[in-house]
Amino acid sequence: MDQPMPLDEFLTQVRQVDFSLPEHEPLLVQSISYLGNYGVRTRQDRLQLQLAFLELTALYLRNYLEYPQEAEVLGLRKEIQEAYQRLYAPDSMGLRCHQFLQEVSAKIREQDYEAALATLSESFQTLSDWDYASSESNDALFQNLILQLHSLQILIQFTEAYPEDHEGKSTAEQLLARCFIQFQDEGFDPEYWTMATQELENLKPTLTEEAHAYCFNILIALVLYFDPEHVPLLEKMGAEHVAAIQTYLASLQTKSPEIQQPDTELDTPEIIQNYRARMEKDGFSEHAMYEAIALVRKRLDDESMDFDGYIAFVGELVDCSRQYANAETNELLDEVIQGLLAMKDYVEQAPDPPTAEEIKKEMEANIAELDRQLAGGRSVSAALTRFFNQFTLLTLKLGSLSEDELRLIAELFRMFIPTLLRTIEKQVPEEMRPFYPQIQQFYSQITAFMDQLDDPEWQQDLAMENFGESTQRFIGAAHLLPIAPGFEDNRMIRQFLELFPQLAIRMANLDENLQGEDKKEAERIQAAREDIMNLLRSAYTLPQLIQHQQFGLRQIAYDIGRFERRKLLYFSPSSLPAHEVILHVNQVFFSGAPAVRGILEKSCRDCGLQLATQKSNTTSLDDRWIQLRESGLAIFDFSGFDPALSDPKEWKHTEAENTALQHASQTALAAFECGWALALGKPMVVILKAGQTAPFDIDIHPCRLQEDEDDVHRLIEAIQVATYGKPRISKDNLLPHSADYLKTIASSLPEDKTQDLLQAIDANVHDATLLKLVGKSLLKLIPGGNHLAFQPPFAGVYPKQAGQRQLFHVTAFRPWSKATEHTIRSVCGEMNLAYRVGYDSLDPEIMAAIWKDLTAAHFVVADITLLNPNAVLELAVAMALGKPTLIIHQHEFIQRFFPPLQKTRTHHYDTDQAPEHLRSLLKAFLSGQ
């Protein structure tokens, strides 16, 4: 079909079809495919099309699960969900970038030439301060925004320089000038712009590469300037846009001033003597070497030592180190010396100033060489040291460029850095992965510094100081922990050393822009860190190192994770005990099979942990909950999960039902308690067998057991990653919403008891530590209250206080669940409730979406038929959150197979009978009867 019918009309027709009939499944697949006929020109077009895709794919999943096209529809839906989250969700990077572009575009349309250029310059400066969650998609959107602003800059310069008399201007430039005038007079016209795009493409053979790149950037900027809502028109030009910017920058020439060098010399025999004595006593330590270098580097910086003296000192230091260092470290030491000599040669030769093109080629060559060295098997430390030396030399050359050229080079850096990071990530072996985030952070500091070149000189000095401290933090973190000789041969210690630098960086970043109790808490963690570091320096045996982890470092790691989640603070009443408990960071909560528990016991003994045990005579449900709350780590074993046995297609009223429930029970128990751990924000380990599929996606790399003697070490490594590794945490800030929730609670309490607490909330709404303390004090005033302060890694939503209330339906997505869903939807419609089910979510991150839906719900209906692991996990979260929950299932005696519900009322229903029993049950539950 050349021209599809209007989208609204098409959707109206589709909505009239009864897709509960199996024979309509092909029609729905065709309807989903038909959406591919719709093109998009504006962001609104694209949004409407995405929502149409999501509506029709949800229809399919609701009616045709386990049909032949299910996998394709699920794949398409996930792709659309991810695109929506990336570009349109309220907290998305795409929406943030687009709104910023709209603001800049609207502003410069109202300004004269000088003011417009100043606005664009301020925009680059603003972007240098942006804080966002780095990811491949977010970084790409950010880089694209940089390119778009640069194209706008080229357009502004074009319109200012373009004369009224077109004589002497190329045909392409005249074409662009006509477009500009046309759009200025009559508004942006996508048809006219598309025609101009084709004309410029036809003129390409008559233009030089530089001239075409210049005109192409102007063509891009016409859309951005007159109507940024039409940016979808540019999406197919992404690669060409990058190339055009690079070509344009490379066509510009540069000039350079002279480089000066210091000329005094300082003797340093005492530092060498102390360093040699330390090595003779303790063996080679990179930490000690860099510490000695740092002492002399200060003298180089204040010009009390010249560069020749500095090189001689480092050379002597390296010579002292060689007999104590291994082969790989000696290779690294060679690169340290070679880098210094290369810098010396550059300074002494005083070469001609480089051009932007030469700088670009050198950057490309350095990245290519790094790729070759890593691919050829050279040690990562030596290859990266060589690259950092080349980078330092490149910064010397940048110092000879003019300010205008430096701005252009800053843009080049923004384009090349993602390429560099991809090169490193591709080649770095698995055991070096923990260092990769440090490299990312280091280079983000570089780009941030480059973006501040237009600042006043005093601000540039501050930026340079901050950059220097960040650089030292990066270099020092990898060598922060001095370990006694021989420790590196222990597999557990070696992995710990790989994880520790990342934890060190997280510790160093705690104190950024904090105030009040948050600042005090960060200072407390930092002080504890200093104490434990002093102890670790004196650890000369494996038991000593384990002991220092037990009595300090694990607590620090736990506190850091909790502090990093502080802005996700969420208050809710709970159905489970909410009294204060004492946290034991060396206690492990385990849920799983006895065979795996035996392996885990050996792993815990080796790394100084103990498994949680029963401590009370209360019901098993409460006891397990308290054990989990007291534990510093939770481990869940899903190695027994087999969907073929626990989730058969035919099971009702047959012996297969009991067999399926028996197979499902162990996994269900682990999934249930895993839901608790997710709500509490506990560090977790998930256990699977090699090649096994997880029962659900909780965004945690599983520990895969091979059923051999090495499983003990595999578990130890997974425990250390869970303890010291960096988790994924949402960037949302719930503090204002949590403050509003507390105010709502306080409105029903005596004013004389809440007045001071409310004043503290109003004055410190961004102080998470204080808000948590005040909130606990306030919530204790509620008669019979049982509130908890949750800090999961996800962002929650408080239920609406006014308007339509919401019900969340917890269920497996299976053919047997469709009739139940239909009944619950119908009852919600009759009682004016909003109905939500898992596949309605636009968020592709499943656990984050579940947490959001469950926190927002006023009611929960949990169908745990066949003890589906997803369903029992969500039920556990609902219980932790204290949600009014109706538990239903299609079995006579579910408690026989699921002990956690032995003292909890559940309701059996049968879909083979009339649904009136279920309807009555739902209405009684929802009306509070």
pLDDT in tens, 113-152: 888 888 888 888 788 778 777 777 888 888 889 889 988 9
288 pLDDT higher than 70: no
Confidence at residue 360, expressed as pLDDT on a 0 to 100 scale: 75
Given the structure tokens 């066509």, which residue do they identify? 251
Residues 6+ apart with CB under 8 A from 46: 40, 87, 232
The tokens describing 181, both together, are 């005038």
481 lies in a domain? Answer: no
| Phi and psi at residue 907, to the nearest 5° | -130, 125
Is 792:681 a contact under the CB 8 Å cutoff? yes
Query: Collapsing DSSP states into helix, strand and coil, what is residue 590?
Result: strand
Residue 318, sorted as left (phi over 0), alpha (psi -120 to 50) or beta, turns out to be: alpha
**Cα–Cα distance for residue pair 902/665, rounded to 1 Å:** 13
Mean pLDDT of 345-365: 76
pLDDT (0 to 100) of residue 423: 65
Between 262 and 207, name the one with better pLDDT.
Answer: 207
Tell me whether residue 22 is in a domain: yes
Would you state the pLDDT for residue 23?
86
Q: Which helix (H) or strand (E) holds 585?
A: strand 584-591
Provide the sign of the torsion angle of the four alpha carbons 465, 467, 473, 475, taken in this order: negative
The two tokens of residue 530 are 């200093």
Is position 686 within any domain?
A: no
Q: How confident is the model at residue 257 (pLDDT cuts 50, 70, 90)?
A: very low
Q: Are residues 115 and 242 in the same domain?
A: yes
| Residue at which a domain ends, from 250, 272, 295 | 250
Residue 622 CB coordination number (10 Å): 13
DSSP state of 550: I
Extract the tokens encoding 706.
């091979």
Tell whether 764 is covered by a domain: no
Taking residues 151-156, what's their average pLDDT?
A: 90
Q: CA angle, corner 99, sides to 97 and 104, nearest 5?
A: 95
pLDDT of 710 higher than 50: yes
* List of residues 6+ apart from 341 with CB closer than 8 A: 311
Helix ranges restricted to H, 110-135: 113-128
**Residue 32 scores a pLDDT above 80:** yes
pLDDT tier for residue 434 given thresholds of 50, 70 and 90: very low
Tokens encoding 892: 């006579």
- The number of distinct structural domains making up the chain is 5
Rounded to whole angstroms, how far apart are CA atoms 671 and 186? 61
- Most confidently modeled of 341-350, 443-452, 471-480, 903-912? 903-912
Expressed in angstroms, the distance from the first to the final Cα of the chain is: 56
The predicted model gives 215-236 an average pLDDT of 91
| pLDDT score for 103 | 93
Q: Is 750 part of a structural domain of the chain?
A: no
Q: Is the pLDDT of residue 254 over 70?
A: no
Which tokens belong to 187?
């508004």
At residue 196, the 3 state secondary structure works out as helix
Task: Looking at the structure, tell me whether residues 227 and 359 fall in a common domain.
Answer: no
Task: Please name the residue that has the structure tokens 């539950």.
Answer: 925
Q: H or E element: which one contains 861?
A: strand 859-863
Say yes or no: 267 and 194 in one domain.
Answer: no
Does residue 414 sit in the same domain as residue 313?
no
171 and 207 share a domain?
yes
What is the rounded CA–CA span in Å between residue 374 and residue 382?
10
User: Among candidates 628, 641, 550, which has minimal Cα distance to 590?
Assistant: 628
Q: Which pLDDT belongs to residue 230?
A: 92
Contact in structure between 246 and 216 (CB atoms under 8 Å)? no
Confidence at residue 478, expressed as pLDDT on a 0 to 100 scale: 34
Range of the domain at 76: 7-87
The count of other CB atoms within 10 Å of the CB of residue 805 is 17
The string of DSSP codes covering 260-271 is P--------HHH
**Each residue of 213-224: pLDDT tens digit?**
889 999 999 999
Q: What is the largest CA-CA distance in the chain?
A: 96
Q: Specify which residues 809 forms β-bridges with.
A: 837, 861
Task: Read off the CATH number of the domain in which 874 is found.
Answer: 3.40.50.2300
Residue 612 pLDDT > 60: yes
The torsion region of residue 787 among left (phi > 0), alpha (psi -120 to 50) and beta comes to beta
Q: Are residues 117 and 236 in the same domain?
A: yes
pLDDT level of residue 810 (50, 70, 90 thresholds): very high
Distances (CA, A) of 596 to 16, 96, 593, 638, 869: 53, 47, 6, 10, 19
Q: From CA 309, how far away is CA 274, in angstroms rounded?
A: 18
Last residue of a domain, one of 229, 250, 271: 250
Stated length of the chain: 929
In this prediction, residue 455 carries a pLDDT of 52
- The answer to whether position 768 is within a domain reads no
Tell whether 606 is covered by a domain: no
pLDDT at 619 over 70: no
On whether both 133 and 242 belong to a single domain, the answer is yes
Q: Are residues 47 and 120 in the same domain?
A: no
* Same domain assignment for residues 281 and 213: no
Residues 881 and 922 in one domain: yes
Provide DSSP, 171-185. HHHHHHHHHHHHHHH
Residue 63 lies in a domain: yes
Q: Which of 497-506, 699-708, 710-719, 759-768 has the lowest mean pLDDT?
A: 497-506
Window from 335-339, 408-412, 564-568, 805-809 with minimum mean pLDDT: 408-412
Are both 342 and 379 inside the same structural domain?
no
Task: Please check the confidence at residue 429 and state whether its pLDDT lies above 70.
Answer: no
User: CA-CA distances (angstroms) from residue 419 to 370, 416, 424, 664?
Assistant: 12, 5, 9, 47
State how beta strands 806-810 and 834-837 pair: parallel
Does residue 268 share a domain with residue 244? no
- Point out the least confidently predicted range of 410-424, 439-453, 642-656, 813-827: 439-453
Model confidence at 928, in pLDDT bands (50, 70, 90)?
Answer: confident
Joined tokens for residue 638:
């899903």
Strands 610-611 and 631-637: unpaired
End residue of a domain, out of 349, 379, 398 = 349
